[in-house]
């Protein structure tokens, strides 16, 4: 399983995870998450029937189509969830062999202050976690 958000670091995580899935003949579950922003405890008003999910799904599909070879896409499960990425990835990692995430490179003191999806996953996931840092293309 790999978590993606459209960033370059998550693209690199998808590249790594796709290669690993190919090597192990595994199905690759590609998960992305979205949620309405919350600012200082305030939720935005109900926006009628507006949902960013179709746009999030489009970005996920484009990323998978770009990275995963066409013949390997039959072994890819695409999942869009609403919720906090770290919590959703940990919940979705129940029963998977491996969770792969990217890193945006926040480290040191800022990493301690801000936390990160990768750090949360490494700490809480019930399976091994690979955090891809840097470029794994070609």
Distant-in-sequence, close-in-space partners of 67: CB < 8 Å, separation ≥ 6: 11, 14, 15, 18
pLDDT of residue 112: 45
* pTM confidence score: 0.84
CA distances from 90 to 8, 58, 70, 125 (A): 21, 23, 28, 5
Tell me: pLDDT of 43 over 80.
no
User: Which one has a higher pLDDT value, 49 or 7?
Assistant: 7
Q: Which residues contact 96 (CB under 8 A, 6 or more apart)?
A: 1, 29, 127
User: Per residue in 106-128, pLDDT tens?
Assistant: 444 444 433 488 889 999 999 99
- What is the mean predicted confidence (pLDDT) over 122-135? 91
Q: Which CATH entry fits the domain spanning 2-132: 3.40.50.620, 3.30.70.980, 1.10.760.10, 3.40.440.10? A: 3.40.50.620
Q: What is the mean pLDDT of the chain?
A: 85
């Amino acid at each position: 399983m790999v978590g993606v958000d459209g960033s370059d670091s998550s693209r690199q995580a998808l590249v790594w995870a796709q290669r690993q899935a190919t090597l192990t003949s595994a199905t690759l579950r590609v998960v992305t998450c979205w949620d309405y922003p919350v600012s200082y405890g305030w939720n935005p008003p109900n926006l009628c029937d507006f949902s960013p999910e179709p746009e999030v799904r489009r970005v996920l599909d484009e990323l998978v189509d770009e990275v995963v070879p066409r013949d390997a896409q039959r072994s890819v499960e695409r999942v869009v969830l609403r919720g906090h990425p770290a919590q959703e990835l940990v919940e979705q990692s129940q029963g998977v062999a491996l969770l792969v995430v990217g890193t945006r490179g926040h480290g040191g003191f800022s990493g301690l202050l801000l936390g990160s999806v990768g750090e949360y996953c490494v700490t809480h996931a019930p399976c091994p976690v690979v955090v891809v840092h840097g470029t794994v293309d070609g």
